[in-house]
Structure 1
Amino acid sequence: MYECCWRKSICKMERTNDSMMTEFVLVGLSAHPKLQTVFFVLVLWMYLMILLGNGVLISVIIYDSHLHTPMYFFLCNLSFLDICYTSSSVPLILDNFLTVRKRVSFSGCMVQMFLSFAMGATECVLLGMMALDRYVAICYPLRYPVIMSKALCIQMAALSWGLGFLNSLTETILAIRLPFCGKNVINHFVCEILAFVKLACTDISLNEITIMLGNVIFLFSPLLLICISYVFILSTVLRINSAEGRKKAFSTCSAHLTVVTMFYGTILLMYMKPKSKDSAFNKLIALFYGVVTPMLNPIIYSLRNTEVHGAMRKLMTRHWFWRKG
């Protein structure tokens, strides 16, 4: 009888210790060791370009008073968001490339998962807000300065950040409360939330439902808003008589539309494609979404933007004279 009770107590302690997971193992590209060095150099270079490109764009927008408009205010938020998003995951990815099986603590995994999920949701909402800004600018040009006031822009940006963090907090709390029974290997570069909850030794239906609802709200709702905004924008632009006027109107939206297409195209490819057994391909898509897109955003917004080019020349000229003096 005592032996039976002792065995039951030991089993209970083991289950408790298993459920209190202390660390996770990130597989990454450990199955392809020759690629890890190549991807380490490539991702490191792209991360430095993200910091440089978005940092310069933020500095130029803050420095030049002519760029203190709603469009550049939201662009400044987007650049800062891309820096935060990549900084929450890229250092872990780089470390993963240097080791065969990267170990990360439970708390570190939770923090990284929370920040990455929050930044991703925030970017979706922010792109929707930027579409609204372009809609007002094209469809109501005379009332644009009054409608898109400084207070409203701050409220729209704060709403984007607040909703993103609130959604991530909800998902992370639900994930933390799950029990684990010894499974601690995450087949990814980072602590991706869906891969994380699948390690639980209990029913994860609630987590899957909340993640699905979150995807609908933070992916498809902003996308629907963007599509509706551009339907009205296109209708207004086509009614402009002069070809020069139509070209100018389209040019103000082309950068945002390119970023939206690239951002949502990658996400939809990642989530909507048929399930594949090639996990390396899935990881590379996630890597493109998490690193390549933030690197290209400042290039897209400044490539043919004469206002940004002028502000950059002024900033560089002032810096050169300051150093010479």
Structure 2
Amino acid sequence: MVPDNETHMAEFILLGFPAPPGLQALLFVIFLAVYVLTITENLIIILLIVTSPQLHRPMYFFLGHLAFLEACYISVTVPKLLLSLVGSTKSISFLGCMAQLYFFIALACTECVLLAVMALDRCVAICTPLYYPLTMSPRACRQLATGSWLLGLLTALLKVFFISQLSFCGPRVINHFYCDISPLLNLSCSQRRRAEVVDFISALLILLIPFCAIIISYTCIISTVLLVPKAQNRGKAFSTCASHLAVVIIFFSAALFMYARPRSIRSWDLNKLVSIIYTIITPMLNPFIYCLRNQEIKDTLLKVLCSRAALSRVADH
């Protein structure tokens, strides 16, 4: 017999950021500005890489994938958050919640693998430069990018399958601004042990294996660069890795804190603040980090802007 208070809920309530109307309006403006800025800067990076022949290289190929991923990543959570800040309803259907959860996990897992692939690319470029064109051929780059996306999509499918089989009862309020794993598991009134184990093991694998690959890659990079005789060449080699390393530290620090632990830990307000780092702040900062540290992208952007300005002056005359 199923208990009377157990139901397969048709919808959930996303608590979001409870605040007075004035503060909610301010939060709406801030999150909207961040969202528009993030989409714009990532689209600019994609267009620069696609339209500029000098950027048709493996490093920028993977950076283009990362930019596309970040634009999708922030689009999974922020639009619903914006609606909840200005609308009277904060509800989300069960299917909508599962869809949001799936795409969020898929993109997060893909980013883990893609960051490891980008570290591998830098390792090959610095440690074995003579074999770099052969090792990181266009075909190999496409296979690595496709593998990153497939791993993310399949891992998310496994996680969401087990979570969607749970029954939910009692209060249907999710103490978060999007459908995340931990608060959903805390609402379940059915046996959730299997879903917790599957989620915990898959989270460890998808986080730790790429993280270990990144550590190994940078260990090889550092050991190789230290053998370079000139300090100027060492600085140039390290500068090509600094932006990627900064993104890795920000993303994995927040992700390991949130997901590499048992799901029985409740979703505190602290979790929502940490979630903002890798769901909103990181996608906004990544283009700045990569562009400000990359002279080629800055030069390409400057050339495009100058050519546009020149065409505009010619059209005016």
Q: What TM bracket, shorter-length normalisation?
A: over 0.9
SS across alignment from 1:178: coil
SS across alignment from 1:198: helix
> Shift in Å at residue 181 of structure 1?
2.7
Q: TM-score, normalised to structure 2's length?
A: 0.92
Q: How does 1:238-249 map to 2 (within 5 A)?
A: 238-249=226-237
Q: Which residue of 1 aligns with 2:192?
A: 204
> Shift in Å at residue 93 of structure 1?
1.4
Q: How does 1:69-218 map to 2 (within 5 A)?
A: 69-99=57-87, 102-218=90-206
Q: Which residue of 2 aligns with 1:8?
A: none
> Shift in Å at residue 21 of structure 1?
1.5
Amino acid across the alignment from 1:41:
V
Amino acid across the alignment from 1:123:
E
- Alignment deviations for residues 170-205 of structure 1 (CA, whole Å, 9 cap, x no partner): 111111111223442111100112211221211101
Q: TM-score, normalised to structure 1's length?
A: 0.90
> Shift in Å at residue 281 of structure 1?
2.6
Partners of 2:108 and 2:152 within 8 A in 1: yes
Q: Which residue of 1 aligns with 2:300?
A: 311
Matched, 1:62 2:53: no
Partners of 1:88 and 1:116 within 8 A in 2: yes
Q: Which residue of 1 aligns with 2:288?
A: 299
**In terms of Rg, which structure is larger?**
1
40, 45, 54: which is aligned to 2:33? Answer: 45
Structure 1 portions without partners, runs of 5+: 1-10
Partners of 1:179 and 1:201 within 8 A in 2: yes
Identity %: 42
Distance 1:134 1:146, change over 3 A: same
**Count of paired positions:** 313
Partners of 1:27 and 1:101 within 8 A in 2: no
SS across alignment from 2:47: helix
Partners of 2:49 and 2:55 within 8 A in 1: yes
Higher mean C-alpha displacement, 192-201 vs 55-64: 192-201
> Shift in Å at residue 67 of structure 1?
0.5
Amino acid across the alignment from 1:92:
K
SS across alignment from 2:12: strand
Q: Which residue of 1 aligns with 2:309?
A: 320
Q: In 1, Cα distance between the equivalents of 2:306 and 2:118?
A: 31
Higher mean C-alpha displacement, 193-202 vs 151-160: 193-202
- Alignment deviations for residues 245-294 of structure 1 (CA, whole Å, 9 cap, x no partner): 10111011111011111111222344569999893332111112210001
Q: In 2, Cα distance between the equivalents of 1:204 and 1:140?
A: 48
